[in-house]
Amino acid sequence: MEIHGYVDHIIYHNMENAYTVMSVAVNGEQEVVVGTFPGISEGENLTLQGEYVMHASYGEQFKATSYEVRPPEDAVAMERYLGSGAIKGVGPKLAARIVKTFKGDTFRVMEEDPTRLSKIKGISEKMALDICGQIIEKRDTREAMVFLESYGIHSNLAMKVYRQYGSQVYSVIANNPYRMAEDISGVGFKIADEIASKVGISASSEYRIQCGVLYILNQAACSGHTYLPKELLLRNTAQMLGLDPQDVEANLMNMAMEKKIVIRGREDPQVYAGAFYRMEEMTAGMMLALNHNYHVEDDQIEAAIARLEQGERMELDPQQKEAVTTAIRHGVCLMTGGPGTGKTTTIRAMLNYFLDQGLNVQLAAPTGRAAKRMSEATGCQAKTIHRLLEVSGGAGEEGESLGRFERDQFHPLEAEVIIVDEMSMVDISLMHALLKAVADQTRLILVGDINQLPSVGPGNVLRDLIDSGAFPTVRLDRIFRQSEASDIVVNAHRINRGQTVILDNKSKDFFFLEREDADHIISVTLQLMRDKLPAYVGADMFDIQVLTPSRKGLLGVERLNEILQKYLNPEGESRREYRCGERIFREGDKVMQIKNNYQMEWEVRSEYGLVFDRGTGVFNGDMGRIEEIDHFSQSLTVRYDEDRLVTYPFKQLDELELAYAITIHKSQGSEYPAVIIPLLDGPRMLLNRNLIYTAVTRARSCVTLVGKEQIFRQMCDNNTQARRFSGLCQRITEQVQTQEKMNQITRENA
């Protein structure tokens, strides 16, 4: 359907993606039109294609699928457009004088001979040129949008492309569309490759091969790798491009010379995206630089620990005392241990020792939930690493996936001791950013469980640091909470050691419910969440978390969330909802942020609606509840931990997903009153000991496994893990060896 009219006024316009709600005058009647309109202004004449739809809250609207801006057809239309505020500096009176002077020739004069405008009272020559520039810019923007959409680039992404290249966008598309994959977030290799195919770029083009290599390395980073073995990289890239591996290999040296990649090793070369190699190399150097020794007498430490035990009414065992002593005597201390082994008690002892010494101590953890747990356990404020580093919107260094941190080597943290918990979650990017902000002589204490799953992001930081052997490390393996009859803790350690777990349901906090098919498993899961577990663990239904091994399949995240939403938060007149592709978001839904967004603003309001705290940054893994869906402003508001309210435009909902069920990977660093773990058949490499151990240790009060006992037993017995390619351990070893050689040369020359 096609309608014609002029934009009377704009109700809502999103600058990022150009989504617009506006009132359009059509045959003397006001129509509400919604759609994507880059560079649109009030007063413009439009031809719109689309259809009328009935909105549940706002009535009939015209949903535009495409549009064309038509030049004003008469003097009235010209004056209306110019006087609407579309052109900065031109109001209704000045618009009337311009149109009266030039009549039907007005727009030609403004574009082609703007100096004639300066003859009109109130318009200087500079202003005339500025008006011309604005008119041309609006025209060029619309033309570029049409051009980019003809290549299948949707309007949201097209705006980003045009902002990046401006008028050069045409030459970029024609000569090397692969540039977009390197320069612009959201334009991946596949989009660039489709465009390149349309404009006739050769399949064996150097641009295509190099972009393909970087794409494969980027995909590897998404799977946790900081590099790929050269042969694997060549094979995967060649397979994707439909070329011979030798064609790909011929481009690697040029890429290395241009510092797009780094190749290390001769026998089994490792190929890095340049940024990840630099992160590993700098992380190794900064960690070694912090690894000072401090001389403190034994009797002083013993007396201090005795005071701590008396003051805190605790008794540290030999391993815990060793950990405290190590933290006192060394600039870097690594501590690892499973659940119930006294990590929290030891952290508290370290914290109190340094506070008694008058030192400034900062506590941090990778996620908001982990930081909250740390605060509650120690009685001192703990922050997320992002908040500790004072994250703000903006781009990081070239190649980094980080936002801009206010704290760095030029503005370091004002702390003499930093203790970071849940280190298994910290990837190489975040570790690199943290270390840049740690001043020399600052003690760094890193605590985690190396038997949990590694970080979602690239790298294997905690394990690599420990495996390097370069830093003092204490392993806690005595179970303290066994006496409290916590079968969660006991069974977690049994799983980790490969020992048999007793599944007789005589436990108070560890249960196994045998079910043979997916539908029965889901039925039991619903009953547990809705009827059984809330009262049993004293928690809200929405605080109970379903943890599943995979995203796809009969018991994958996607299917589980669809079913759990239907029964736990059903549709109703009191709950507004919004359909986003195949997903439905509904007020009251439990949701999760699935990517780091450093520009996203949040605020905390009082019960009267007054804002008393605000900031930026919502991060991968943050969980909350949908508080409001506003169809008029095309937005959705989520309440996260610490009552942070975040408003998402509808066009940005690809950053959210339902979170009644989440993957076990996504649960890292979190703790829930109760967890339900559905188990059915799946790939052997996925169903392993590491995974089930991580899932079980996420529960505070109750674990319920639902499914096949055979699968649980197989997971406990399967100690194989998919190899993660990370080189931090190697970078540390190289730098230690280099320093030893330099020291030897110095001694020989002395």
Residue corresponding to tokens 């790909």 = 248
Cα distance between residue 634 and residue 21, in whole Å: 9
Is a pLDDT exceeding 90 seen at residue 402?
A: no
The predicted model gives 30-37 an average pLDDT of 88
Within 10 angstroms of residue 716's Cβ, the number of other Cβ atoms is 21
Q: What is the dihedral of CA 667, 670, 671, 677, to 10 degrees?
A: 0
Tell me 500's DSSP state.
P
59 in a labelled binding site: no
Report pLDDT for 733: 96
Report pLDDT for 484: 56
Is a pLDDT exceeding 50 seen at residue 401?
A: no
- 127-166 pLDDT, tens digit each: 888 888 887 877 777 777 778 877 877 766 777 788 888 8
Going by pLDDT thresholds of 50, 70 and 90, the confidence category of residue 595 is confident
Q: What is the dihedral of CA 692, 663, 546, 426, to 10 degrees?
A: 80
Same domain, 311 and 438: yes
Domain contains 488: no
Q: Could you tell me the CATH number of the domain that includes residue 62?
A: 2.40.50.140
Going by pLDDT thresholds of 50, 70 and 90, the confidence category of residue 398 is very low
Same domain, 240 and 335: no
- 205-230 pLDDT, tens digit each: 898 999 899 999 989 998 899 999 99
DSSP string for residues in 168-229: GHHHHHHH-TTHHHHHSTT--HHHHHHHHHHHT--TT-HHHHHHHHHHHHHHHHHTT-SEEE
State the chain's mean pLDDT as an integer. 89
Same domain, 297 and 264: no
Same domain, 633 and 504: yes
Domain contains 192: no
Report pLDDT for 485: 60
Report pLDDT for 396: 38
Q: Could you tell me the CATH number of the domain that includes residue 249?
A: 1.10.10
- 286-330 pLDDT, tens digit each: 999 999 999 999 999 999 999 998 887 888 999 999 999 999 999
Report pLDDT for 712: 95
Same domain, 468 and 529: no
Domain contains 727: no
Assign 3-class secondary structure to 542-587. HHCEEEECCCCCCCCHHHHHHHHHHHHCCCECCECEEEECCEEEEC
Same domain, 214 and 324: no
92 touches 83 (CB < 8 A): yes
Task: Spell out the long-range contacts of 558-564 with Cβ–Cβ below 8 A and sequence spacing 24 or more.
Answer: 560/522, 560/525, 560/660, 560/661, 560/678, 561/657, 561/658, 561/659, 561/660, 561/661, 562/658, 563/522, 563/526, 564/525, 564/526, 564/529, 564/658, 564/660, 564/661
Amino acid at 342: G
The pTM (predicted TM-score) of the whole model is 0.78
Q: Could you tell me the CATH number of the domain that includes residue 302?
A: 3.40.50.300
Sign, CA dihedral 573-578-581-585, equals negative
303 CB burial (10 A radius; 0-12, 13-18, 19+): exposed
Lowest model confidence (mean pLDDT) among 14-28, 308-322, 403-417, 562-576? 14-28
- 415-444 pLDDT, tens digit each: 999 999 999 999 999 999 999 999 999 999
Tell me 51's DSSP state.
E
Lowest model confidence (mean pLDDT) among 76-80, 171-175, 222-226, 625-629? 76-80
Non-local (6+) Cβ contacts of 63 within 8 A are: 33, 34, 35, 50, 51, 52, 53
- 671-685 pLDDT, tens digit each: 899 999 999 987 777
Domain contains 280: no
At which of 211, 239, 268 does a domain end? 268
Is a pLDDT exceeding 90 seen at residue 382?
A: yes
The predicted model gives 480-495 an average pLDDT of 79
Same domain, 510 and 471: no
Cα distance between residue 495 and residue 712, in whole Å: 10
500 in a labelled binding site: no
Same domain, 596 and 650: yes
Is a pLDDT exceeding 70 seen at residue 400?
A: no
Report pLDDT for 395: 40
Cα distance between residue 197 and residue 192, in whole Å: 9
The pair of structure tokens assigned to 72 is: 């004003």
Same domain, 653 and 533: yes
Name the more confident of 503 and 185. Answer: 503
Domain contains 149: no
378 in a labelled binding site: no
Nearest to 697 by CA among 721, 678, 669, 717: 669
Report pLDDT for 490: 92
- 94-131 pLDDT, tens digit each: 888 888 888 888 878 888 888 888 888 888 888 888 88
Report pLDDT for 155: 64
Same domain, 421 and 559: no
Report pLDDT for 317: 92
What is the distance, to the nearest Å, from the Cα of residue 287 to the centroid of all Cα atoms in its chain?
25
Cα distance between residue 315 and residue 306, in whole Å: 9
Domain contains 522: yes
Going by pLDDT thresholds of 50, 70 and 90, the confidence category of residue 582 is confident
Lowest model confidence (mean pLDDT) among 389-403, 623-637, 644-658? 389-403
The predicted model gives 226-255 an average pLDDT of 94
Cα distance between residue 148 and residue 157, in whole Å: 9
**Domain hosting residue 247, numbered range:** 203-268
243 CB burial (10 A radius; 0-12, 13-18, 19+): middle
Which residues on adjacent β-strands are paired with residue 611?
605
Is a pLDDT exceeding 70 seen at residue 399?
A: no
344 in a labelled binding site: yes
Report pLDDT for 397: 34
**What's the distance, Cα to Cα, between the start and end of the chain in Å?**
89
Q: Write out the H or E segment, with its range, that includes residue 674.
A: strand 672-679
Cα distance between residue 375 and residue 384, in whole Å: 11
DSSP string for residues in 704-728: EEEE-HHHHHHHHH----------H
Cα distance between residue 534 and residue 287, in whole Å: 45
Nearest to 548 by CA among 534, 537, 533, 564: 564
Same domain, 388 and 505: no
Name the more confident of 59 and 293. Answer: 293
Domain contains 122: no
Number of domains in the chain: 4
342 in a labelled binding site: yes
User: Half-sphere exposure (CA, 13 Å, Cβ side) for 550?
Assistant: 16
- 693-722 pLDDT, tens digit each: 999 999 999 999 999 999 999 999 998 877
Domain contains 576: yes
309 touches 316 (CB < 8 A): yes
Same domain, 250 and 368: no
Report pLDDT for 65: 84
